[in-house]
Chains A and B, each alone.
Chain A
Amino acid sequence: MKFRLLFVLLAACLLAACTSTPEKGGGAAVEDHSTTTTTEGGAAGGGGTQGQTYGAGEQAGGKFSKLNQPGSILSKRTIYFDFDSSNVKPEYQKLIEAHAQYLINHPDVTVSLEGNTDERGSREYNLALGERRAKAVKEQMVLLGVKPDQLRVVSYGEERPAVQGHNEAAWSKNRRVVIKY
């Protein structure tokens, strides 16, 4: 059963490799499955049920493998915000704690916290707002014990939307901080 699943996933991996869109992380996730371990994040439970994205996972393998286990909270890397707000909502507490714990256990690993906004309002203000969101996440992780130099804050403002569209459905997916390993 396990081997069969592995085979299917490998096939998916090959298919993914054939397409020209590099953004799918399916392939990397497959490699992780073969190592089948429980992660710290997994123990923290699968909280936060709305709107997660999965890690890109290009750098998976080796020490990053625990990060990319599908279903693990560590594979959830995105924190969403309200309009013109940089308040981290309580529902993301577990996600942030899990990544903080991982970074504490792996002090040689650094991450980028990429702040983004929706398209509304002015671009330069949004660039500043994106930074403030990323800093809000950084602050929480540092309070949890992560060394500040493991966390690189960068803002893209409204320049790199995750979802195209001029409506709240798109905007709510674009007001985000992405934890990039």
Chain B
Amino acid sequence: MLKRTLVILCLLLSGPAHAVLNIKITQGMEEALPIAVIPFAFDGDPQSLPLNMHITIANDLARSGRFKPMDVSDMPQKPSDFQDVNFSDWRLLGMENLVIGSIKSRDDGSYEISFRLLDVYQGKQIAGFRITTTRSTFRRTAHRISDVIFKKLTGIRGAFNTRIAYVTVKKQPDGSKQYALQIADADGFNPKVLLKSPQPLMSPAWAPDGSKIAYVSFEGNNSSIYIQNISTGQRRQVAAHRGINSAPSFSPDGNRLAMTLSKDGNPEIYVMYLADGTLRRITHNPAIDTEPDWAPDGNSLAFTSDRGGSPQIYRVNLDSDRVKRITFDGSYNARPRFSPDGKLITMVHGENGNFRIAVKNLEQGYLDVLTRASLDESPSFAPNGSMIIYATAGPRGSELAAVSADGRVHQRLALQDGEVEEPAWGPFPPSP
């Protein structure tokens, strides 16, 4: 088993106010593709650039677990033009792909970035792009380049230019806790606080267009559901009935919000039509029914219910209201989340006192347990289905981790200060 410790230390350029995630790959794929991301040529002072493009790209690729970027110090040459590449040198090193590029600053303060992805064995270009960017979009551009490389070499759409939402918990000097709902880039950079509260926050859920987040807040001394606009910060309370108001999940079309309410006696699944707030009750069972998640086609919901005596995953068809049990392995399966293609469901799987992240293959029926710790929870698929982010117990409390859907790649995302829980991976950004 190949163990690598590639640490990407995320430093904020300004402002000490935000804690920052530190991502460490604890296990990569043995057959990870060797790639060399060569420092991009720049016609000005490299110190003036917002970041080192080649480092951000190499870190992205390494984080996926599918690539093994070469250290810059091991590179036999650092060309930025195609004609300067000495392919035979790279072939001798067993290198398969190169990324070369250059950055030109323009009079209006923007940058023109051109890059090429090269196949060493064939000695030719696989992809080449020119992108104009600004200081403020520089990092996003790096992620977009990573997306292009990832797609060309794996056939899978990259999810580097996406965001995650999570809840941080910080102990205050007086012993109380401060909760903050935050979003950050998928690599942990650019954390932004959406809401701070002395009361618990949980269950952040992204709107499919990435513009809003629904969550549960206990600020009224009971659970209630809010929807908050990410760019304006404006929010509205959508459910604050007597009893539980929780587990929000946006429908794929963004028009409805599934949720759990116990206003009618015990926890049941409801769907709210967001335009007018009307509710449709989906489940009718004296057991606990909660944690709804929409199938990508919008026609059914997966949810947790203990109607059979222990918590298990069920699926309800929204046309017929017919309920079907999905999980049969183990005494505890909860919090289902569909993969973007609808073929898998990830969940918290409890067995022998250990709670781990598992994936159920809906077509073939088998259940794969992906993690090995004992207190894992809150799994959430990346929008390309390649990774699952989740919360796990670290030495200083809850922290985030990620595992590939096939269980081969493992990462830790540790916050330097405080605890992090309840991760939710956001959707792809709208096409530029």
**Residue positions of A touching B, CB distance < 8 A:** 20-21, 84, 119-125, 127-129, 131-132, 135, 153-157, 159-160, 166
Return chain A residues, CB-CB under 8 Å to B375.
119-120, 166
Question: Does A121 contact B334, Cβ atoms closer than 8 Å?
Answer: yes
- Chain A residues with Cβ below 8 Å from B348 are 121-122
Contact at A131–B243, with CB atoms within 8 Å?
A: yes
| B266 part of interface (Cβ distance < 8 Å) | yes
Q: Which residue of A lies closest to B350 (CB)?
A: A121
Q: Quick one: CB contact mask for B223-255 with A, threshold 8 Å, 1 for yes?
A: 100000000000000000001101100000000
Q: How far is the CB of A142 from chain B (nearest CB, A)?
A: 14
Question: What are 30 residue pairs bridging A and B, where the CB atoms are less than 8 Å apart in the complex?
Answer: A20-B174, A120-B353, A121-B334, A121-B350, A122-B304, A123-B422, A124-B246, A124-B260, A124-B335, A125-B288, A125-B290, A125-B291, A125-B311, A125-B334, A127-B223, A127-B247, A127-B290, A128-B260, A128-B262, A128-B267, A131-B244, A131-B266, A132-B266, A154-B221, A154-B222, A155-B223, A155-B244, A160-B200, A166-B375, A166-B393
Complex A-B, nearest 4 residue pairs according to Cβ-Cβ distance, in ascending order = A159-B200, A122-B335, A122-B334, A128-B288
Which residues from B are CB-within-8-Å of A155? 223, 244
Residues of B within 8 A of A153 (CB): 243
User: Which residue, B175, B288, B310, B335, has most C-beta atoms of chain A within 10 A?
Assistant: B288
**A-B CB contacts (within 8 Å), total count:** 86
Interface string of B330-361 (1 = CB under 8 A from A): 00101100000000000010100101000000
Distance of A153 Cα from B241 Cα, bound (Å): 12
CA distance A122 to B310 in the complex (A): 13
B377 CB–A CB distance under 8 Å: yes
Complex Cα distance, B223 from A129, in Å, reads 14
Additional 9 contacts, C-beta under 8 A, given A131-B266, A159-B218: A84-B310, A122-B334, A122-B348, A122-B378, A124-B260, A125-B334, A127-B244, A128-B260, A166-B374
Residue among A123, A129, A135 making CB contact with B377, cutoff 8 Å: A123
Chain B residues with CB under 8 Å of A129's CB are 288
- Say yes or no: B203 contacts A124, CB within 8 Å: yes
Chain A, Cβ-Cβ closest to B247: A124
Residues of the A chain whose Cβ atoms lie less than 8 Å from the Cβ of B175: 21
Q: How many residues of B contact A (CB 8 A)?
A: 37
Give complex CA distance A122, B374 in Å: 13
B202 on the interface (CB 8 Å rule)?
Answer: yes
Cross-chain contact B291 with A124 (CB below 8 angstroms): yes
Q: Is the CB of A125 within 8 A of B218?
A: no
**Nearest Cβ in chain A — how far from B338, in angstroms?**
16
Q: Is the CB of A125 within 8 A of B422?
A: no
> Which residues of A sit under 8 angstroms from B374, Cβ to Cβ?
166
Are A121's CB and B377's CB within 8 A? yes
Taken residue by residue from 302 to 345, chain B's Cβ proximity to chain A (1 for < 8 Å, 0 otherwise) reads as 00101000110000000000000000000010110000000000
A59 to chain B, nearest CB (A): 15
- CB of A132 within 8 A of CB of B332, answer no
Q: In whole angstroms, how far apart are the Cα atoms of A154 and B262 in the complex?
A: 11
Contacts of B262 in A (CB 8 A): 128, 131
Q: Answer whether A156 and B350 are a contact pair too, CB < 8 Å, given A121-B355, A122-B377.
A: no
B399 to chain A, nearest CB (A): 13
Q: How far is the CA of A135 from the CA of B348 in the complex (A)?
A: 25
Chain A residue, CB-CB nearest to B223? A127
Which residues of the other chain, A, contact B203 by a CB distance below 8 angstroms? 123-124
**B contact residues around A135 at 8 Å (CB):** 266
Instruction: Quote the shortest CB–CB distance from A99 to chain B (angstroms).
Output: 20
Distance, CA A129 to CA B267, complexed state (A) = 9
Chain B nearest CB from A177 CB (Å) reads: 15
Min C-beta distance of B226 to chain A, whole Å: 16
Q: Considering the chains assembled together, what is the distance between the CA atoms of A128 and B355 in angstroms?
A: 18
Shortest Cβ gap from A2 to chain B (Å): 35
- Assess the A128–B244 pair: CB atoms within 8 A: yes
Give the distance to chain B from A103, nearest Cβ to Cβ, in Å. Answer: 19
A159 to B177, CA, bound (A): 11
How far is A177 from B243 in the complex, measured between Cα atoms in Å? 15
Q: Which of A120, A125, A129, A160 has the most CB of B within 10 A?
A: A125
How distant is B4 from chain A, measured CB to nearest CB, in Å? 28
Known A125-B335, A128-B244, A131-B244; contact A120-B355, beta-carbon cutoff 8 A: yes
Which has the most chain B C-beta neighbours within 10 Å: A119, A121, A123, A155? A123
Q: Which residues of B contact A131 (CB under 8 A)?
A: 243-244, 262, 266-267
B202 partner, pick from A21, A119, A159, A166, beta carbons under 8 A: A159
Smallest Cβ-Cβ distance to B422: which chain A residue? A123
B332 CB contact (under 8 Å) in A121, A123, A159, A160: A121
Given contacts A84-B310, A156-B200, contact A120 B350 (CB under 8 A): yes
Partner of B290, one of A20, A21, A128, A154: A128
| Given known contacts A127-B244, A159-B202, A132 and B310 CB-to-CB distance under 8 angstroms | no
